[in-house]
Structure 1
Amino acid sequence: MSSRPIRALVLAATAVLAATSLTACGSDDEPAAGGGATTEAATIRLGYFPNITHAPALIGVSKGFLQESLGTTKLDAKTFNAGPAAIEALFSDAIDATYIGPNPAINGWAQSKGEGLKIIAGSTSAGAGLVVKPGINAVADLKGKKIATPQLGNTQDVALRAWLKQNGLNADQQGGGDVSVLPQDNATALQAFSQGAIDGAWVPEPFFSRLQLDAGGKVLLNEKDLWPGGQFVTTHLIVSQKFLTEHPETVKKLLQGHLKSLDFVKNSNAEAQTAANAQIEALSGKPLKPEVLSTAFQNLTYTADPIASSLFTSAQHAQDVGLLKPVDLKGIYHLGPLNELLKAAGQPEVSDAAA
């Protein structure tokens, strides 16, 4: 997404909001607007994580971009520490939308048989990989080693298992096989690596940087090297289909605020880092160290493009390693409102194509 002044984006987006209603973007799977007049929601309950991979949400909340765009609709922001918990909250009507990683969204789509959610925008790309002890120099050296991932079946866990399989190594779900994969939360993995209890970890930022800077690990593989152009979805924005159908105007205004946050990152990167870190501190009680923050931001790309092709590939990887039954992802994206806003602002539209 090209960089443009915030004011131009806001004016263009506002014009679209005033002149158009929610329209489909070339897909029969787009939800209708209910057939009659729709109303804007009194409140939208939005989930996000206190993590640098959710920087657009952190900034959107702390700088007021989201609330400003929502107008009279109240923003009720809630934090989560794991994708499955956020999906559960979405499906139990505890939240209406959330920033989330790709694999939880895929699992939620499968669980709801394509009726529970829609992906409405990208947010973050890249920023994950495998950090190991200095003595490990090649994938073959991982045989017999213990490698952590954040959670069984999560985005990084699937990436590691698929990569191992592609390189002739197996890892079962019980921690056995050629490589012992041990799902554990990122903070635990950092401590375990520092103490020598594990040999490496495939993790997202900021732990990808922290394992190097704080624990003396080295990068065996930056995941971006596995993807075309180094881009793959790390975080995107989803909404419940029920809320989307009932309040399409509110969803579009949420997207308007999301684009303001992305624009702020592009045009005021240093200030964006400070704002994101301040919100992390407010939520968790501890900010990231300056060197970790800077390194993590360099490894991440913040973009409205959901990089749809990487989602379809990730789903295939999960199937290949036995963590996902075959699922038809047709219709998981609803990019019409986002593309209207991008087009009005003179920015490139994004695609939901699988390749």
Structure 2
Amino acid sequence: MSDKKLMELLADARPRRLDPDPRRRPDPAVLMAHPRPVRGRRPARRFAVAGLATAAAVAAALTAVVLSDVDTDRRVAPVVEADAAAPSAPVPPKTARELLLVAAERTTTSTVDGDGRYWVLRRELGSRMEVGPAARRYHIMLRISEEMWLARRPGDPSVAVQRFLGAEPLDEAAWRADGSPTRWVVPGLDGGGKPAAVYTTAPGPRTVRPMRGHTADNNFLLAGGPVTAKQLAALPTEPASLEAWLVRRLRQAGSPEGRAYALFWSGEALVTDLPVPAAVRAAAYRMMAGLDGVRLLGEVTDARGRAGMAVAYTREGDGGRSETRLVIDPATGRASAEEERNAAGELTRYTIVDSAGHSDEAPPQA
């Protein structure tokens, strides 16, 4: 694809509702929407960047948090001559390949490159859970905010800052039929009568804990195994070479997933929250653009209601059909969210990346 064609795509890709209102100052939260590592056979394992290796581990982290809570510039419109041709409306990308190539081009000029003692990742995680009476089961969405201070140098401690944001009923009618509870007790699996967790609609306290066992040598996960910050910084910047590197790592890890899907979620990790140079992120986007099975969903909103465009990959697994979505802001090339949906199209888990970058500051203290 020529540079001229890519630049045309860049201009056309931005969703119209993301454009600033010429009558008022643009909202930075809209214009600068900011943009997880991978392990195992199911996509939920990509919570593993900081030890949250599976969806169950996400729930466990939520449980730990919840149980602790139990005890004026104006722009002038341009003058248009009467015989001047009106500009055509922006044309969004027509394929997943076009969107991913646009994102690759943009990410080379919108970077979080740098150096520092810590890679600081701020995100929101959501995981769906079934609750309610046996005859009228329904689902709630458990939400947690997470701030990970991942050490990049030997001797520095890695730290996790978490807060339970509250549970939200997903089926309002079933929730009301259950008496509109604001608290759910999820029994333990041992049958001993003690609750494994208590979830409420109210947020919990902010907690700070050291991430024991996490060091500069194993803070990051990619393609089913641990990688260091130096390894990530040295990844290939050419799509075919990057793909070959990932395939070797996936084989070493014994990944049971199909090649295209495993490469898709490995690419997701590289473009969302891993500390890699912009050229590596661009290579990951271009690699994904060449994968079979990736399709364009068009304009979407993420779990927080932020606008973007999405690509998706659908897989058949032990738990049935699921769809993994990657939400991208084509104006910046940043991947801002990742989601999983079931065969019915229901949201089962999500990750929203608020920010990711280097810092020399000291992490919060417990």
TM range, smaller chain: under 0.3
- More strand, by proportion: 2
Name which structure has the greater RCO, CA cutoff 8 Å, separation 6+: 1
**Structure with max Cα Rg:** 2
- More helix, by proportion: 1
TM-score by length of 2: 0.25
